Every structure is written in structure tokens, then in C-alpha cells.
């Protein structure tokens, strides 16, 4: 079997396994076929991990493959890796350029406000990196992360992987969004899974020659915030109006057509909807 066939087979298998144990399944597949590690880690989104930054008053940040180096993760607050890397490893570790780091700081502050307004809790993190080796390039890539959950096992993870390519005063933003959702009413039903969508929009930013770097950064954040807000709203509506309605129908038809079970089906559906709405 070729590497490409093994990769396709691994993805096909992951679609059929329990999504609640996705991270464990990915690690098991990597142990079976180590050559798939890089492809699987970069293409399969797993629930986000929360860590604390000891250099930023133990402030929480989110960890994924995009801010990982070896077994450490870079914090967006202090711009350092934890657990701390050796001096030699730090020299080889990826960091954004000075200009992009300023945009990253602004993005983290801005999306932290967005998180507080829309999620009323949870954790957010933004990580950016250059698309090429030229630090003066206006193009960049990154990821915007949100994680929210309540005191039960309900959890919502949003992962927005983005690419921004500039041509004149226009910037084309390409964003791949994945929502990982887990709802457990503690009784008859547990729902877990993920939903992905791709979005592309071209929006204007001020010309670099006549405006300050800060103004260009604000324009990028405004554009990205508008796109991500629209995408998250659409995906939440899709989950509520399409997937949950289908789940209710399936749940209903798998039970005996008695009035008591119909009431139970309705109660379970309502409880799961409340779980989603609380995230």
C-alpha cells in the first residue's frame, strides 16, 4: 500500500470511529504507521488543549499542532514555549516576525473581546506565521481558536485556519473552519462530531504606502472578525436547524411508536438543544 493509500485509509477509518476518542485514535494510527504522523497531525482537527502561561500570570491559552514544536506549545501572551525548550531548540523553533508578532498581539486582544461577547466564557488564542521566507511580505497565515464548555461534558471547539494573500489594496482571505462539538445530556443520548466549511472573501485594506502599519493591522483584524463571525453564525444555525432536526428524527424512529417514548424523544432533543445554546 502506498503512503497516499494509507493516508486515505486512515482518514476513512477515523470517520467511522468514536469521535470522542479522536485524539487517541490518531495517536494509535501514528504508532501503526509513523510515516503518516505529519499528514495526520496537520489535517485532522482534535479537541483543543488548554494550558497556562507561567510568564503571563498563568493566563490560559489553547494548544494545537499550529503552535507546537517538539512537545511544547507557544503561548500567544508571552511568545514563549512551554514546557520550556533548550536554548538550541529555541533557535530552531518557529516564531512570527516582529511585524507579524504585532499583528498577532492585536488579534489575540481583539478576539479575546469577541470570545467574551459571543461565548461569555471559554478561552481563545490566535497564532500567525509567514507564508514565505520574506519577512517584508504582506502575506501571512494563521489560526484563530475558540474553546468553550460548561460544567458538564458539553464542549464547543472552533478552529479557523486562515491564509491572507494581498494584491494591491485587496486581500483574499481563505479560511477553513472546523467546529468540534460534544453534547452529553447525561441520560439517553450523547452527540459528538465535527463540521468543516471553507470560506473565501476578498476585502480591502488601506495602501501600505499612505497609512501606518497599525492601521493596516486594524483593517486585517476587522476583516477577519467579520468573516469569522459570519461563518460561526452560519455553522451554529446549520447545527441547530439541520443536524439536530435529523438527529431527533433518527432518535424518534429507532424507538417504539408509543406516546411515552415520543415524549422521551422530545425531552432528549430539548436537553441537547439547551446544551448547544449554552456554549
Establish if 143 belongs to a structural domain.
yes
Indicate the pLDDT class of residue 245, thresholds 50, 70 and 90: low
Q: Which three cell numbers stand for residue 79?
A: 511568545
| Residues 220 and 106 occupy one common structural domain | yes
pLDDT for residue 114: 96
Instruction: Please work out, in degrees rounded to the nearest 5, the angle formed at the alpha carbon of residue 15 by the alpha carbons of 13 and 17.
Output: 70
Residue 37 within a domain: yes
167-209 tens-digit pLDDT: 988 999 999 998 988 777 665 556 667 788 999 999 999 887 7
Q: Are 124 and 215 part of one and the same domain?
A: yes
What mean pLDDT is predicted for residues 22-48?
Answer: 79
Least confident of 41-55, 68-82, 253-267: 253-267
Q: Using an 8 Å Cβ cutoff, are 122 and 112 in contact?
A: no
Instruction: Render pLDDT for 112-124 as a digit per residue (tens, 0 to 9).
Output: 999 999 998 999 9
Q: 2 and 128 share a domain? A: no
Kindly indicate the confidence band of residue 99, based on its pLDDT and cuts at 50, 70 and 90. very high
Give domain status of residue 159, yes or no: yes
Most confident of the following: 31-35, 144-148, 155-159: 144-148
pLDDT band at 84 (very low <50, low <70, confident <90, very high): very high
CA atoms of 45 and 196, how far apart (whole Å): 10
Question: 83 or 262: whose pLDDT is higher?
Answer: 83
Distance from C-alpha of 188 to C-alpha of 260, rounded to nearest angstrom: 14
Are 103 and 229 in the same domain? yes
Would the pLDDT of 78 be above 90?
A: yes
Structure letter (DSSP) for residue 44: S
Number of domains in the chain: 2
What stretch of H or E contains 3? helix 3-16
Domain with residue 148: its CATH number is 3.90.1150.210
By residue range, what is the domain housing residue 12?
A: 1-44
Considering the domain boundaries, does residue 70 fall inside one?
no
| pLDDT recorded at residue 259 | 47
C-beta of residue 198 within 8 angstroms of C-beta of residue 174: yes
- Give the pLDDT band of residue 247 (cuts 50, 70, 90): low
Q: Report the alpha-carbon distance of residue 211 to residue 219 in Å, rounded.
A: 11
Cis peptide upstream of residue 89 (ω within 30 degrees of 0) = no
How would residue 229 be classed by pLDDT, with cut points 50, 70 and 90?
Answer: very high
DSSP SS3 for 76? coil
Whether residue 247 is contained in a domain is answered as no
Q: By the 8 A CB rule, do 279 and 156 touch?
A: yes
The Cα–Cα gap between 130 and 257 comes to 58
Q: Are 76 and 64 in contact (CB under 8 A)?
A: no
Specify the higher pLDDT residue, 151 or 243.
243
Amino acid at each position: 500500500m502506498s503512503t497516499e493509500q494509507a493516508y486515505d485509509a486512515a482518514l476513512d477509518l477515523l470517520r467511522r470511529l468514536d469521535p470522542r476518542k479522536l485524539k487517541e485514535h490518531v495517536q494509535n494510527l501514528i504508532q501503526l504507521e509513523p510515516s503518516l504522523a505529519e499528514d495526520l497531525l496537520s489535517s485532522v482537527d482534535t479537541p483543543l488543549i488548554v494550558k497556562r502561561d507561567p510568564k503571563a500570570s498563568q493566563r490560559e491559552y489553547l494548544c494545537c499542532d499550529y503552535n507546537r514544536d517538539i512537545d511544547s506549545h507557544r503561548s500567544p501572551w508571552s511568545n514563549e514555549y512551554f514546557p520550556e525548550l533548550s536554548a538550541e531548540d529555541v533557535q530552531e523553533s518557529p516564531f512570527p516576525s516582529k511585524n507579524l508578532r504585532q499583528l498577532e498581539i492585536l488579534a489575540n486582544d481583539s478576539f479575546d473581546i469577541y470570545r467574551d461577547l459571543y461565548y461569555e466564557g471559554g478561552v481563545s488564542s490566535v497564532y500567525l506565521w509567514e507564508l514565505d521566507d520574506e519577512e517584508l511580505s504582506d502575506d501571512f497565515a494563521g489560526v484563530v481558536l475558540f474553546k468553550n464548555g460548561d460544567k458538564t461534558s458539553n464542549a464547543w471547539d472552533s478552529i479557523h485556519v486562515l491564509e491572507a494573500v494581498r494584491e494591491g489594496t485587496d486581500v483574499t482571505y481563505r479560511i477553513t473552519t472546523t467546529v468540534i462539538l460534544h453534547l452529553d445530556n447525561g441520560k439517553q443520548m450523547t452527540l459528538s462530531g465535527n463540521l468543516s466549511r471553507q470560506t473565501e472573501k476578498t476585502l480591502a485594506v488601506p495602501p501600505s504606502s499612505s497609512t501606518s502599519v497599525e492601521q493596516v493591522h486594524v483593517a486585517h483584524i476587522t476583516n477577519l472578525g467579520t468573516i469569522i463571525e459570519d461563518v460561526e453564525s452560519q455553522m451554529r444555525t446549520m447545527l441547530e436547524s439541520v443536524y439536530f432536526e435529523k438527529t431527533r428524527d433518527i432518535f424518534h424512529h429507532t424507538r417504539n411508536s408509543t406516546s411515552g417514548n415520543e415524549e422521551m424523544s422530545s425531552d432528549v432533543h430539548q436537553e441537547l438543544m439547551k446544551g448547544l445554546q449554552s456554549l
